[in-house]
Structure 1
Amino acid sequence: MSRPVKLSETEIHAKLETLPGWSLQAGKLHREFQFASFVEAFGWMSSVALVAESMGHHPDWSNVYNRVSVDLNTHDVGGITELDFTLAQRMSELAK
């Protein structure tokens, strides 16, 4: 498997335009998800955990009741890569 490549600021901003709800904060992709209940939020996190594990790419996230705060970046390259955008897209799809 090839090493992920850090995306440029221009590439990041262009890709963000295709990913509603996500923003760039402190050099990471960021989004706040809100669900109807704690159980729904935790269920979503469990589904995402399976996807993240299959990708070998894991989010920085926290959960408070029905809210989940997510930050994504690729620690190995010190920035945002295509892996982060792929995981962000899957998270958004699973939240629908």
Structure 2
Amino acid sequence: MAVLTNDQVDAALVDLPNWERAAGALRRSVKFPAFLDGIDAVRRVAEFAEQKDHHPDIDIRWRTVTFALVTHSAGGITEKDVEMAGEIDRILGL
């Protein structure tokens, strides 16, 4: 899978308004009402990611969960990452 150009990533971000490009990945932080709400969200995303065999990096800090998407095997952001970002938003109802 080909790494997207900067212009392609910028175009994709138009449809992913709460995501940003940072440190070579697509990133989004979500603040949940309670710690366990964040843990439940991580579980739901992880189950979907496992089915797709495309796993985000996930950082949990109390009630804030940060998802980072990059296709390591391709060396950058690919269409798989853009699709996964949209799926994370859908899974979380965002």
SS across alignment from 2:46:
helix
SS across alignment from 1:32:
strand
1:32-47 → structure 2 map (5 Å cutoff): 32-47=29-44
* Residues in 1 aligned to 2:10 and 2:30: alpha-carbon distance in whole angstroms: 21
Who is 2:70 aligned against? 73
In the TM superposition, residue 85 of structure 1 has moved relative to its aligned partner by 0.9
**Does 2:70 match 1:64?**
no
SS across alignment from 1:68:
strand
1:1-96 → structure 2 map (5 Å cutoff): 4-96=1-93
Q: Which runs of 5+ in 2 are unaligned?
A: none
* Residues in 2 aligned to 1:45 and 1:26: alpha-carbon distance in whole angstroms: 21
Question: CA offsets per residue over residues 3-39 of structure 1, 9 Å max, x none?
Answer: x221111111000011010001011101101111111
Letter matched to residue 26 of structure 1 = A
Give the ranges of 4+ consecutive aligned residues of structure 1 lying more than 6 Å apart after TM superposition.
Answer: none
Letter matched to residue 63 of structure 1 = I
Identity level (%)? 33
What is the number of equivalent residue pairs in this alignment?
93
Letter matched to residue 87 of structure 1 = M
* Residues in 2 aligned to 1:36 and 1:58: alpha-carbon distance in whole angstroms: 24
Q: Which runs of 5+ in 1 are unaligned?
A: none
Aligned-pair RMSD on alpha carbons? 0.9
